[in-house]
Structure 1
Amino acid sequence: MAPMGIRLSPFGVAVFCLLALGILYHLYAGVLSSRLAAFSGQKRNVNLRELLAVSVEAAVLGGKEVKKVRDENSLMEKSKGKTKEGAVELLTMGDLLSHRKMYNLIKNTFPDIMVNSEERDNLVDKTALWSRDIPADILEKIDGHKEVPAESITVWIDPLDATQEYTETLVKYVTTMVCVAVGSKPIIGVIHQPFTGFTAWALVNQGSNMTPRSSYSISPPKVIVSRSHSGEVKSFIHNAFGNGTTIIEAGGAGYKVLSLLQMPSSDKEPVDQADVYVHITMIKKWDICAGAALLSALGGRMTTLKGDDIDCSGNALNTGGLVATVRVDHQAILNRLPNWDPDKQ
């Protein structure tokens, strides 16, 4: 007796095909519409809530690579050269694998936008696709109808902030970061901690999952500075606020911004609490733009030492130093700083 098979009627075949097309549309709608818009020459708008969700997913996926490499002790570190201050800049497998996840996920989802990463790698991974998931807190707080032209967007990604500390197993300082700038202004900031699993995010003028702390002090402030690129920052801080000023040395620009905010309680090593973040030498925009957006969304500020807003478009280098605060009189802090030209350091 011949085995029995299932035969679909023409109607059944049509229904099956429609279901398959629906699933494919759900998975690839964003990519397909972007490709079609590019092919037709149509100017593409980008939904900011979706871009925020993709940025969070990219930072988390990059963070998983960072943690895996560190846990397996397979860093394969090498030098990229030295900073102007003489510190060795390291590249590890964690930096590289995180970059591949983060860059390709964002670029595959939004092929029309400019994406700048700290690392360089020619691997194109077409399988890195957005899950289409939007976290519940983003759905709750962020308007889903805000769009901007793709050509106005610059994305800065830092696949592994605090690489030096990463190699020293000082993992509390390590973050992965994404910043979205529209024009020159940072409007989306994502800072993810791979070793705690916590992700801070914000969209300026819409919402954030972060809040400032209940109190800060500037008499004198606790000032957080770089432990590996400090230069002459200690004498600079003492000249500004007095010899009794508490100076906290820490790795990673992302960590330093988080030190200004209210962090969730954790059974892991807590984040330091600072009142002001100061950096007096050159620093790259992928290090700082996510923090600038996060602080701006919470009513804070990140400026150069002269008080100018940091331009988060164009050249990757910020040469003006920085001062970052929230719920503190930012101008009062700036007024106390000694004359200093970061370009000459």
Structure 2
Amino acid sequence: MAPMGIRLSPLGVAIFCLLGVGVLYHLYAGAISTRVAAFRQGSKVDLRDLLALSVEAAVQGGKEVKQVRVENTLEERSKGKTKEGVNEFLTLGDLRSHKKMYYLMKNTYPQLKVNSEEHSSVGEGVVWNRDIPSDILAAIPEGTEVPAHTVTVWIDPLDATQEYTVDGEPIIGVIHKPFTGDTAWAFVGKGTNVRARASYSSSPPKVIVSRSHAGKVTSFIQEAFGNATTIIQAGGAGYKVLSLVEPLPHDTPHDTPLDQADVYIHVTYIKKWDICAGAALVAALGGRMTTLKGEAIDYRGNERNTGGLVATVGLDHKALLEKLPTWDPEKH
């Protein structure tokens, strides 16, 4: 039985959505080849390569999360409390998935800035073997090089986000569901393997919110859209973004009608590694993720987004924002 602090979906998909990178192989210390070392030296990186790297790391990190759950070895402990007074928990799944994703990225592209929610003093000797999945090659036949110093990587190992920003704007996002094996990816302006649904409702919308902050957001949503508004509570920012799109191939029939939403709203501060990947997926489908005031979110610098968020796909984002009551996330 899982400890009370960690809520595991009986379907095995609600919390553990990971974002990650590329195809990897294990190396003993000091065994990195001259070819790989030379590859690392460049001052530019190819964003298609980073996308491929992200997909594999997500899968590898997801395997760690799943194994920890199967073995029932969460080893949960509190990292302290959030601003709202809620315990933040650290588990063995956090650490093991962090190590897979973080060190795969840093060993392959040491010049990149990588921000992870977790930290470990013990590394892993893994690098990417530069294989690119066929669906990425089909959708994105040509690479895109950018200066390495303009790229920032955000990782949330367990709650499930890793993504890339270029000059503060989300460019690549990957979300992996370890318990179904599904991986959603997007490269803004280039391609994605997810689709918008055929229709969305705004009168009223189905709104998905954070389970841990449901009390704060309920009255806010009802004031905006009416007391009859359906509010879905869920864990994991990546999971909530996926509720806005077509179900992934292995989502169960039971999962689909319960967890499809029209809007994702968050009214308290949220860390950027939670939401950046979802912002890229939403943008790749022509949608938007903004603060409650409609402002763009800058993913550089500080890890905190203090303006709340609204994410939509297939709706008039501006018109929806105009229905929201005045709310200051910093005061709640």
Shorter chain as normaliser: what TM range? 0.7 to 0.9
Higher helix proportion: 1
What SS does the corresponding residue of 2:130 show, helix, strand or coil? Answer: coil
What SS does the corresponding residue of 2:268 show, helix, strand or coil? Answer: coil
Distance 2:193 2:126 in 1: 26
Letter of the 1:128 counterpart: V
Post-superposition offset of 1:178:
1.5
Aligned partner (choices 233, 243, 246) of residue 217 of structure 2: 233
Q: In the alignment, which residue of structure 2 is the partner of 1:337?
A: 324
Distance 1:55 1:28 in 2: 23
Letter of the 1:216 counterpart: Y
What SS does the corresponding residue of 1:224 show, helix, strand or coil? Answer: strand
Aligned length: 299
Distance 2:322 2:34 in 1: 52
Measured at CA, do residues 114 and 267 of structure 1 come closer, stay the same or move farther in structure 2, by a change above 3 Å?
closer
1:292-338: per-residue Cα shift (whole Å, max 9, x none)?
A: 00100110000000001111111100000000000100001100000
Post-superposition offset of 1:250:
0.6
Measured at CA, do residues 321 and 267 of structure 1 come closer, stay the same or move farther in structure 2, by a change above 3 Å?
closer
Alpha-carbon contact 1:289-1:312 (below 8 Å) kept: yes
Q: Which moved more, 1:215-224 or 1:115-124?
A: 115-124
Letter of the 1:276 counterpart: V
Post-superposition offset of 1:145:
2.8
Q: In the alignment, which residue of structure 1 is the partner of 2:311?
A: 324
Alpha-carbon contact 1:231-1:281 (below 8 Å) kept: no
Post-superposition offset of 1:267:
6.1
Distance 1:264 1:340 in 2: 34
Alpha-carbon contact 1:31-1:110 (below 8 Å) kept: no
Distance 1:270 1:335 in 2: 31
Q: In the alignment, which residue of structure 1 is the partner of 2:153?
A: 155
State how 1:166-315 maps to structure 2 within 5 Å: 176-266=160-250, 268=252, 270-271=255-256, 272-315=259-302
Post-superposition offset of 1:264:
2.8
Distance 1:238 1:292 in 2: 25
What SS does the corresponding residue of 2:298 show, helix, strand or coil? Answer: coil
Select the structure of larger CA radius of gyration. Answer: 1
**What TM-score, normalized by structure 1, do the two folds share?**
0.84
Alpha-carbon contact 2:182-2:249 (below 8 Å) kept: no
Distance 2:110 2:301 in 1: 18
Post-superposition offset of 1:265:
4.2
CA RMSD in angstroms, aligned pairs only:
1.6
Letter of the 1:45 counterpart: K
What SS does the corresponding residue of 2:45 show, helix, strand or coil? Answer: strand
Post-superposition offset of 1:28:
6.3
1:182-237: per-residue Cα shift (whole Å, max 9, x none)?
A: 01100000000011000000000000000100010000000000111335100000
Alpha-carbon contact 1:186-1:312 (below 8 Å) kept: yes
Q: In the alignment, which residue of structure 2 is the partner of 1:95?
A: 94
Distance 2:205 2:57 in 1: 35
Alpha-carbon contact 1:58-1:101 (below 8 Å) kept: yes
Q: In the alignment, which residue of structure 2 is the partner of 1:140?
A: 138
Post-superposition offset of 1:343:
1.2
Distance 1:267 1:154 in 2: 31
1:241-265: per-residue Cα shift (whole Å, max 9, x none)?
A: 0001000011110000000000134
Instruction: Mark the runs of 5 or more structure 1 residues left unpaired by the alignment.
Output: 1-25, 38-43, 162-175
Distance 2:192 2:33 in 1: 27
